[in-house]
Every structure is written in C-alpha cells, then in structure tokens.
Amino acid sequence: MKRLLIALTVLGAVVAPAEADDDTLPSWNDSPAKRAILDFVSRTTTDGSPDFLAPGERIAVFDNDGTLWCEQPMYAQGSFAIDRVKALAPQHPEWQTHQPFAAILAGDRAALAKLDEPQLAALIAATHSGMTTDDFALTVRGWLNTARHPRFHRPFPQLVYQPMLELLAYLRAHGYKTFIASGGGIEFMRVFAEQAYGIPPEQVIGSSGKLKVELRDGRPVLVKLPELNSIDDKAGKPVNIELHLGRRPVMAFGNSDGDQAMLEWTVAGAGPRFALVVHHTDAAREYAYDRQAHVGKLDAALDEAATRGWTVVDMQRDWKTIFPKGPREESR
C-alpha cells in the first residue's frame, strides 16, 4: 500500500482525502454519506487523479419525487390532477356520476387509493391533455403558487430538500451538469425545476404524452394528446436518459424501487460511478417509509444498496435540516 501511495505521489495522482467541513454542504451532518459524496467529487474533479473526468463527462441525474422534494402523502402531481378535476367540474356535469371523477369530487380518498389503470389514464387524459403546452405550463404555475401541502401548509416548491439544493449547487460548482429523471410528467416538472433547483427545462427528463402540431389563430402550437408517449419509471429511466443524454450518467440519485434500474445502469458503466439512495427515516420532520409504502416504495433497491455498497442517506441521521427556511414555519 505504501509503495502504491509513493508511486501515485510520483505520478502526481494523489488526491487529498475529502474532509467534511461546515462550509461545504452545511445542512449535511458529517456522516459517511456526506464523506462519500465529497470523496467522489474530489476524485473525479481533481486534475491528475486517476478517476479524473473531463467536465463534459460529469453528468449527474436525480429522481425528483422523494429525492429532491416531498412526495407524501401523495405525489404533488396527483394533488394537481385532483384540483384540476374540481376546477373543471362545472364544465363536466357527467363527472358527478362517472369514476374516477365522482370519487374525487366527493373527496372519497379510499376510492381514490383503489383507482385502476384505465381510471388513472382517464384522470390524466382529462387533466393533462387538450390544451397547448404553453397553456398547461401556465396552469401548473398558477397551481404551484396557490396549492398548499396538507401537513406543512406550504406551497409545494417550498418542500424541496435543503440538503439536496446544496448538493446540486456543489456538484455544479465542480463542473457537473445536473439533470432530473422523474416518473412525474416532464412538462409539470419543468415549470418549477429551473427556479427551485437551478435546472433548466432542457435538463429535465420525465414521463410524457404525445404532442401534435396544430394551427391556432394561424399560429403553430403544440397540443397535448391523451396518448402516452413514455413512462419514465423503472426500466423506462435508463431508456429515457439514453434518449435525452446519449450516455450513462456517472452519478445517480434516487429514493425508491422505481429508481433501481437507473442506479444499476449508471454504476455498470466504466470508470468512477456513484449511486445514492435517500431513505426516508424521519417521521417527525418529514415522513418515515420504505418497504411497505404505497408511494415511494423502497424495498429491493434498499437491499441492493446494502449489497453493492451504494451510499444511503438516512434522513434523520444525515440531514441537519429538511426544508429551506421559508416564509411559513414548519408545523405538524
């Protein structure tokens, strides 16, 4: 080992061991997770390191729901769809007797939890198609400004994770290009990704419906069709990341079994690779859930993380704060 160190020193390739300090990732406790991140970034961005990556190769991909922001008690986009049904109900008297609309309008959460695939598809079609992409973005923007989380009473964009905001900024400061690869709708997410995360629309990947060019008032616009294009979840994540990026990322971050294929595919590439799983362990400050969760189930991927030595964030232990300080105090 000593000979190896000397040889590396001669080659100018020794990298100072990463040290956690209070200025870097200040909302992270000094834990193995934080040190693993600092170490990987140091190894891949220090000139002369055997793991050095040229800036163009520094690609990091993040799941969104449960990785960058709160996904409980339901995905924000689910709350959005429900609110859209309520807003559009006066134009659809037939919804009073048709599922899933009747259950939504009656506030029947038990029935909502049991929706089958065709009913979910009908819900998405009714709330996510027929309008132009521009109009849809305006509707989402308005909703994000006014809707409140049922427990924290904050707008959803204030329920991003402060430690992850710091991580995104830290990676970018080290030449990493940060992308989102989410199971959520690509157009929904793009509305807030730039403001909330500093991630521009062209660096957001997500589930999508088909689009069609139409002339409206003599002007070409893109209209959202009620037809699925791709679901960016499970094996769909590597497929869509390849379509958008043309290569494997070197870092991937997720929190559920839906991210497992993305994490496996990322670390299977040659050269230095990094996979991280956010484990929701903090019922007091956020939520605690994993193997039995309906939303954000983390089971097989948690086992694989242990087996393969992926970095696991224990939110309760590793994060000093969960949400950014905002105009509203956190409450239970």
Which spans of this chain sit near a second copy (rule: CB under 8 A)? 56, 59, 133, 177, 179, 186-187, 190, 194, 200-204, 208, 210-213, 219-222, 229, 235, 238-239, 242-247, 261, 264-265, 268
Cα separation, 261 vs 65, whole angstroms: 16
**Closer residue to a second copy (CB): 200 or 309:** 200
Taking the least distance from each CB to a second copy, the nearer of 44 and 99 is 44
Nearest in space to 260 (alpha carbons), one of 204, 169, 183: 183
In the complex, the smallest distance separating the C-beta of residue 43 from a second copy, rounded to whole angstroms, is: 22
Q: Which is nearer to a second copy, 114 or 212 (CB)?
A: 212
Between the CA of residue 290 and those of 66, 123, 296, 300, what are the distances in Å?
11, 27, 7, 10
* Cβ nearer to a second copy, comparing 96 with 229: 229
The residue ranges of DSSP E strands in 243-283, in sequence order, are 251-254, 274-281
d(CA 212, CA 220): 10
Nearest to 26 by CA among 320, 326, 323: 320
**Bridge partners (DSSP) listed for residue 272:** none
Closest to a second copy by CB, 80 vs 265, is 265
Shortest Cβ distance from residue 186 to a second copy (Å)?
7
Name the residue nearer to a second copy (CB basis): 17 or 246: 246
CB of 281 to a second copy, least distance (A): 28
Residue placing its CB nearer to a second copy in the complex, 90 or 220: 220
Contact (CB, 8 A) for 206 and 184:
yes
Which residue, 51 or 264, is less far from a second copy as judged by CB? Answer: 264
| Spatial CA neighbour of 252 closest among 62, 37, 34, 33 | 62
Least distance in Å: CB of 211 to a second copy? 5
Find the shortest distance in angstroms from Cβ 203 to a second copy.
Answer: 8
Secondary structure element (H or E) that encloses residue 300, with its range: helix 300-308
Task: At 218, list the tokens.
Answer: 């003599």
Strand partners, 277: 254, 312
Query: Nearest distance from residue 235's CB to a second copy, in Å?
Result: 4
Which residue lies nearer to a second copy by CB, 15 or 199?
199
- What three-state secondary structure class fits 214? strand
Helix, coil or strand: residue 176 = coil
To the nearest whole angstrom, how small is the minimum distance from the Cβ of residue 82 to a second copy?
24
Six token digits for residue 101: 């609309």
Burial of 159 (0-12, 13-18, 19+ CB in 10 A): buried
How far from the centroid of its chain's Cα atoms is residue 26's Cα? 21
C-alpha 177/C-alpha 145 separation (Å) is 28
Q: Which residues contact 236 (CB under 8 A, 6 or more apart)?
A: 207, 230, 261
Instruction: Supply the minimum distance, in Å, between the C-beta of residue 329 and a second copy.
Output: 33
Question: What is the residue-wise DSSP string for 179-205?
Answer: EEEEEEEHHHHHHHHHHHHS--GGGEE
Q: In angstroms, what is the minimal distance from the CB of 84 to a second copy?
A: 20
